Structure 1
Amino acid sequence: MLVTATLSDSDHSKLTATEKLSQDQVGPEDESAAVAKFSKSFKVIPILDLALLRGSPAEKASFLEQFRDVMMTCGFLYIKNTGVSDDLQKRIYDVVVKTFALPREEKVKFAIEKSPVFKGWNELGKEVTYGKNDMRELVGIGYDNRLRLPSEPLWFNNLGPWNVPTDEQVPNFRATVTEYLAAMHNLALELLHAVAATLGLAPTYFDELWLNDETGREASHFQFNHYPSIDTESNPEWAENLGDAAHQDDDIVTILAQDMVGGLQVQNFDGDWIDVKPIEGTMVCNLGSFLEAVTGGRYIATSHRVRLNTSGKSRYSWPYFLQPKITTARWVEPLPDEMLPEEVRNYKPDVKNRYEAMEFNRKIAKTIGEYMFYVKQMKSYPEAKEIHYPDVDWVKELNIDPVLAKRFL
């Protein structure tokens, strides 16, 4: 079936694009998503086909042109034909659901409070984002890394050993997650190499810049999310909470797999929140702040959130975050204009900055590891912090103005 979708906004002329959709994708939501050209006032999210990236030179060029356009205007996209097998996706979904279905007394055995590297199960409502409790439970997994050495700084504890269910609790947990991590890492690298190609750079340019960790530890992160349905009539105190508060991903590339319940939203430059409705056979990909920084704001790390789930069904998602090595500098110098292709060089970043905290955040720590350990982990998981690091004041440790810390963090 050939679907045609139109998009218009106050700043751009009407844009029309077409995309062949398989029968199981056809429907009102999916038709609106089949838009290839966008403004920053986007109302729907585009679908890109990775089969084109792996196809003929002409097909690859077509993909890269679309990909560049999306990164400069939206920062979010659906990807199909990911190469991750249906069997593996079914098995990881089964592991996710069985993990959260464990009785509480089993989940506390791998609770985040037991981990000095802030990994493991975090109970519903215990995660704090910008001073509010997120209405989700999660399992932070990451990679099974070695412990910090005594000679290494404390913030090297941003990485460490797994704190996950045993195979007795969730059969095949470790083997399935290990297999899925390998598949997602390969997919993330394929997308990162495509980003480099849109900038006229060698495919592995960003690998050399960000991913070769001299400590031998993999910094990329993986987690399970469970958003139980909340009855706001019985629990009116939760009605103003979100499943996950608005934020940008502080990484390179994120790839999200989700069930069909929905709840993810992204924010356009008009400030409107746009639903990222689940589409069978796709994953959701978005750019992180490191790609926004290195392109001088031309490629966009878009703000997103998860609505409070009141659907009557549990929602599950399992995102993979391609992270730079922890010794990477927080402040990333933009690529010189002369290194950028004309299509990117001549694209001026929008002067309306929706992310006033971004520049502040990039300068409060020297490395990504410091920022993740002191700000993201200690702030988000205060109970675990008090158990493992009761004497550490992260605001003082990073010499942050307490007033600014309260405002921006």
Structure 2
Amino acid sequence: MTEEDQTSLPIIDIGPLLIDDSNDNRKEETALQIHQACRHWGFFYVKNHGIPMKLQEELIEFSRKYFSLPLETKMQISMNKGGRAWRGYFPVGNELTSGKPDGKEGLYFGTEIDDDNHPKIRNKIPLHGRNQFPPIGKDENEFRHVILTYMTTMENLGRIIMSGLARSLKLDVNFFDKNYFLNEPTCLFRIFNYPASFCQQEGNQDLWGVGEHTDYGMLTILLQDDIGGLQVKINHNKWIDAPPIPNTFICNIGDMLDRMTSGYYRSTPHRVRNLSPSYDRLSFPFFLDPNWDTEILPIPMEGITTNEDDAENRWDKASVHKFSGTYGEYLLKKVSRVFPNLAEEQTIIGTNSY
């Protein structure tokens, strides 16, 4: 691939992966495109994904209504009221990237567990439990329904994309389901708002909504509004725009897939800034990650040359290949860097981090 080819991210038609009786040759062709995208970019758009446009539009509409509320109203579901579940609202500046405050506010959600007898609840495992839902809509459950429906569709879509990714690595199509999801993947969903007013404030012009970073987990599926502002870093030093394309999602691989493939597929740095001087920017990242209790071990990569020694080229100078343990342990240590206040409760987070 020449440098001239690397001016925009690839767009992949994943329609063949959604059809059970689709011709295997078409699925293999889609898998090859995913392989090339993961090798050269770490990012790609997907189209013909089957997610209803009406659901996307409702999610955006309700989110705009929520973020337009007064701060004191939004703080009624603040994250510190979510306890161990680590769910709810945080205001601008409360989340850090590389130690710097982000120019965004947001809502955090995860798999809804409202059963007190669930093993994760009984054992007081952090990042599991009930969500806090904004009371937006005709009744207080309307936005809740949209959010939970969207999360279910995203999990299903993520599993389909991961089946294509398994094909791209010459693995069984159910490889990730059988070895890493184990019928209960870690699913996290965020709704972020990047206020236009933030970068207009004196002294904030050089600050990003989110600074350079890679994602922690396996697969991110991103819906963004029409404002734009996402940038992806390629060839270690070149930034390119990843603008919104109607009825597509942007996918990117995270650090855990980088680790699983021993560096064959790399997680790619990216950053965000609201480009509009007048309008807030919304984005909706959904993270499909390994089962909480799964030990993250490299996939056998027979006949493929890998390179784990990548710390010098990473944004944080920290290798994702030099840790041992479960995904849950890894994630908790990462969380303590993004939300330092949560680390103060030793029984929840602990103070060590990578």
TM-score w.r.t. length of structure 1 = 0.76
In the superposition, relative to structure 1, how do residues 355 and 112 fare at CA in structure 2: closer, same or farther (>3 Å)? same
Partner residue, 1:130: 98
Deviation of 1:99 (Å): 2.1
In the superposition, relative to structure 1, how do residues 228 and 195 fare at CA in structure 2: closer, same or farther (>3 Å)? same
Structure 2 CA distance for aligned equivalents of residues 157 and 249 of structure 1: 20
- 1:337 equivalent to 2:293? Answer no
Partner residue, 1:377: 335
- 1:62 equivalent to 2:18? Answer no
Deviation of 1:294 (Å): 1.5
SS in structure 2 opposite 1:236?
coil
Partner residue, 2:46: 79
SS in structure 1 opposite 2:197?
coil
Could you tell me whether the CA contact under 8 Å between 1:254 and 1:287 is conserved in 2?
Answer: yes
Structure 2 CA distance for aligned equivalents of residues 105 and 56 of structure 1: 54
Deviation of 1:253 (Å): 0.9
Could you tell me whether the CA contact under 8 Å between 2:185 and 2:288 is conserved in 1?
Answer: no
Partner residue, 1:45: 9
Structure 1 CA distance for aligned equivalents of residues 157 and 259 of structure 2: 22
Structure 1 CA distance for aligned equivalents of residues 276 and 93 of structure 2: 15
Question: Pick from 261, 265, 284: which aligns with 2:231?
Answer: 265
**Counterparts of residues 136-215 of structure 1 (less than 5 Å):** 136-145=104-113, 146=115, 152=123, 156-166=125-135, 172-212=142-182
Q: What is the Cα-based RMSD across aligned positions, in Å? A: 2.8
Could you tell me whether the CA contact under 8 Å between 1:99 and 1:170 is conserved in 2?
Answer: no
Deviation of 1:365 (Å): 6.4
**Counterparts of residues 4-403 of structure 1 (less than 5 Å):** 8-9=2-3, 42-53=6-17, 54=19, 55-116=22-83, 117-145=85-113, 146=115, 152=123, 156-166=125-135, 172-212=142-182, 219-230=186-197, 232=199, 235-329=201-295, 332-338=296-302, 345=304, 353-355=312-314, 357=316, 360=319, 363=322, 366-373=325-332, 375-386=333-344, 389=345, 394-395=350-351, 398=352
**2:91 is matched by which residue type in structure 1?**
E
Structure 2 CA distance for aligned equivalents of residues 296 and 360 of structure 1: 11
Structure 2 CA distance for aligned equivalents of residues 142 and 315 of structure 1: 22
Is there any run of 5+ residues in structure 2 with no aligned partner, and where? Answer: none
- How many residue pairs get aligned? The number is 346
SS in structure 1 opposite 2:290?
coil
Could you tell me whether the CA contact under 8 Å between 1:228 and 1:309 is conserved in 2?
Answer: no
**2:78 is matched by which residue type in structure 1?**
A
Deviation of 1:93 (Å): 1.6
SS in structure 1 opposite 2:249?
strand
Could you tell me whether the CA contact under 8 Å between 1:139 and 1:225 is conserved in 2?
Answer: yes
SS in structure 1 opposite 2:215?
coil
Structure 2 CA distance for aligned equivalents of residues 378 and 351 of structure 1: 23
Is there any run of 5+ residues in structure 1 with no aligned partner, and where? Answer: 1-6, 16-41, 399-404
Structure 1 CA distance for aligned equivalents of residues 46 and 286 of structure 2: 14
Could you tell me whether the CA contact under 8 Å between 2:14 and 2:49 is conserved in 1?
Answer: yes
**2:258 is matched by which residue type in structure 1?**
E
Which has the higher Rg, Structure 1 or Structure 2? 1
Structure 2 CA distance for aligned equivalents of residues 134 and 315 of structure 1: 14
Deviation of 1:175 (Å): 1.2
